[in-house]
Amino acid sequence: MNDLKRLEFQVRKQIQNDPAHDFEHIIRVCKNVKKIAKHENVNPNLVLAAALLHDVVSFPKSDKRSKTSSLKSAQKAKEILKRYSYTQNEIKIIVDAITDHSFSRNMTPKTIEGMILQDADRLDALGAIGIARTFSVGGAENRPIYSTTDPFCRNRAPNDQNWTVDHFYRKLLLLEKKMNTKFAKKEAKRRTKILKEFLVELGQEI
């Protein structure tokens, strides 16, 4: 069994039961990594290791520690990777990618590995799966779907701690312009169109 398979087996056993950051999310991010890496000069195995470990620590969005999830995951990943055959330089590349990938840190990763991981993770927040994940989290947090007075944030700043639809305006619709790689930019545009179409349909129904 190679290192990636062993890592996958370990992560599957210890990943938290978060509705938007479960093991299936990890697998989808890995699939996105593979698609992006085909178009970049990069060792895909390093980015895949980062993808497997990028949410190994994940606090609920309502938890005050939520913004530290990527840092905690990076620290945990470093501990885990030392048990495998990765070199110190490879571990640094993987750990740096995990550290910088999250939306809340508002960072552009320093390495191509980090850029690919960030893009792959953000793509999973868009499109049909992004919509499903958004409402899964909203339900888990017992959050109302939308504001009855201004559901689409036309006259107020979005507050996704209070209403789930606000998350589209607080984060999801901004991601298309934050992608790093050419492939991800194209895919993000396609998936963002799905988000916008959903919001139009929602407006017609409410």
pLDDT (average), residues 14-39: 89
Here the CATH number for the domain that contains residue 15 is 1.10.3210.50
Q: How many domains does the chain have?
A: 1
> What are the tens digits of pLDDT across the range 84-104?
888 999 999 999 999 876 766
So what's the pLDDT on residue 107?
75
Domain of 132, in residue numbers: 3-205
d(CA 164, CA 136): 10
Q: Is residue 102 within 8 Å of residue 94, measured between CB atoms?
A: no
| pLDDT higher at 69 or 74 | 74
> What are the tens digits of pLDDT across the range 109-155?
889 999 999 999 999 999 999 999 999 999 999 999 999 999 999 99
So what's the pLDDT on residue 183?
97
Amino acid at 114: G
CA torsion 143-149-155-156 (nearest 10°) is -30
CA 160 to each of CA 51, 60, 147, 152, 200: distance values in angstroms, whole numbers, following the listed order: 26, 13, 10, 12, 19
CA 50 to each of CA 71, 73, 93, 114, 183: distance values in angstroms, whole numbers, following the listed order: 13, 10, 9, 8, 19
d(CA 83, CA 6): 11
So what's the pLDDT on residue 75?
83
pLDDT (average), residues 50-61: 79
| pLDDT higher at 193 or 4 | 193
Is residue 141 classed exposed, middle or buried when 0-12, 13-18 and 19+ CB atoms within 10 A define those classes?
middle
What confidence category does residue 59 fall into, taking pLDDT thresholds of 50, 70 and 90?
low
Q: Which pTM does this prediction carry?
A: 0.88
Q: Is residue 98 within 8 Å of residue 50, measured between CB atoms?
A: yes
| pLDDT higher at 197 or 64 | 197
So what's the pLDDT on residue 146?
98
**40 pLDDT above the threshold of 70:** yes
Cα 106 from chain centroid (whole Å): 13
Q: What is the largest CA-CA distance in the chain?
A: 56
> What are the tens digits of pLDDT across the range 161-175?
999 999 999 999 999
